[in-house]
Structure 1
């Protein structure tokens, strides 16, 4: 049985194009044209991934994503938006979306992101327990079994993407990773296509939760012109 992708989009021509191309790649598709119907299908059908437009009738994409995560559903969500405002992307990621892509987008890029997010979710579900169950990095600790992060013994409220980002960086402290490398290793975009702004948004949100002063980070540090690294 093929992987199922739920498309929640109110423009029928976009739904038709997405369905056609996803079907060609072997995916089954479900379609919803408003937020309420999209949320209902997501909860009832448990798709492998959701393509979620932000501007929807009845319930916008933000509320759909928020409601989905309140139900403890970890289905990967890629936001579709025609708007370039950074605040929209930050809010969507904060509510638990895994990624975003801005219209107009290339079908090649969208299909690559669909494949990568489904694969990453499968890998996370199938990953064996690590022999080393905790990473203790001074003031920052990671519980690998519970997929939880702590600072000074207090739990950090991280999204799945933020946890994966800090875990990857913290597992190799001091090593600098470019944005493209992070897109490949954390976002699981093999042969990465697209822009790297998602990395900067995720790092900024992570710093707001982890750092004493996000403007002067101690843990998630920028190496100018090269990328990011974790400083224990």
Structure 2
């Protein structure tokens, strides 16, 4: 198989209490040109992350001791640039929803096909890679309420002081989609079609959960959203407060 684009091997951390699964994933992703480390629990994962921040984490939800959801919450706050894929059981829809609320970029249900997991990981890593040196123009900042979206650096910044607001890759993609279609109502089906993201499922709450999470970050009053508005019987619409900056 061909290696990923780029000079370095992407760093992957697999966190799962099943030793056999850790071993299989380590060998499979290692064969596919990843630098893989594994952890059996949250404590070991935190120690490995302190040594070197991973590019992406495969994280099991159900582990003894500190749960995967608790570790995911810490990871999203402490290392917002790392990709996060949750591994969930087939009978755990609540865990999947909570994972999305926390900021997971994707979820995979056990048992899974290794090739599909590899494809999802590669797709997520491509979305995480910042713009290269080919674009030397000033960064394009799109206003989103209290924040501004830096499309070139793939960052969400506070307009007040320029500080970075943590967003997952999926959340950034959703904001970028809205930025490309200002003042236009988008249905959930359109969001899925534009986003090409299999975790945005119109039949469940995935899109609604991400919109809710984003509103908490960008809206002056999340209970009365004015930036990402709900369009009844349709979906959502981004209403820029400073159109001339688009």
Which TM-score bucket, shorter chain as reference?
0.7 to 0.9
Other-structure match for 2:182: 173
CA distance in 1, matches of 2:20, 2:32: 19
Other-structure match for 1:115: 122
Tell whether the 8 Å contact from 1:65 to 1:97 is kept in structure 2 after alignment.
yes
Tell whether the 8 Å contact from 1:50 to 1:78 is kept in structure 2 after alignment.
yes
Correspondence for 2:148 among 142, 162, 169 = 142
Q: Which runs of 5+ in 2 are unaligned?
A: 1-7, 241-246
State the Cα distance separating 1:27 from its structure 2 match.
1.9
Secondary structure of 1:169's aligned partner: helix
Tell whether the 8 Å contact from 2:13 to 2:38 is kept in structure 1 after alignment.
yes
State the Cα distance separating 1:225 from its structure 2 match.
8.4
Correspondence for 2:47 among 40, 44, 59 = 40
Tell whether the 8 Å contact from 2:147 to 2:156 is kept in structure 1 after alignment.
no
Tell whether the 8 Å contact from 1:150 to 1:156 is kept in structure 2 after alignment.
no
CA distance in 2, matches of 1:156, 1:26: 31
CA distance in 1, matches of 2:134, 2:42: 33
Secondary structure of 2:130's aligned partner: helix
State the Cα distance separating 1:105 from its structure 2 match.
2.7
Tell whether the 8 Å contact from 1:158 to 1:206 is kept in structure 2 after alignment.
no
State the Cα distance separating 1:43 from its structure 2 match.
2.1
State the Cα distance separating 1:173 from its structure 2 match.
0.6
Report the CA distance shift for 1:2/1:213 in structure 2 as closer, same or farther (over 3 A): closer
Secondary structure of 1:101's aligned partner: strand
- The range that moved more, 96-105 or 37-46, is 96-105
Report the CA distance shift for 1:92/1:195 in structure 2 as closer, same or farther (over 3 A): closer
Other-structure match for 2:3: none
Other-structure match for 1:23: 30
State the Cα distance separating 1:165 from its structure 2 match.
2.0
Q: Which runs of 5+ in 1 are unaligned?
A: 185-191
State the Cα distance separating 1:78 from its structure 2 match.
0.9
Tell whether the 8 Å contact from 2:85 to 2:104 is kept in structure 1 after alignment.
yes
State the Cα distance separating 1:2 from its structure 2 match.
2.5
Report the CA distance shift for 1:206/1:25 in structure 2 as closer, same or farther (over 3 A): same
Tell whether the 8 Å contact from 1:5 to 1:29 is kept in structure 2 after alignment.
yes
Secondary structure of 2:82's aligned partner: coil
Say if 2:242 is the partner of 1:230. Answer: no
Secondary structure of 2:213's aligned partner: helix
TM-score after normalising by structure 2: 0.69
Other-structure match for 2:61: 54
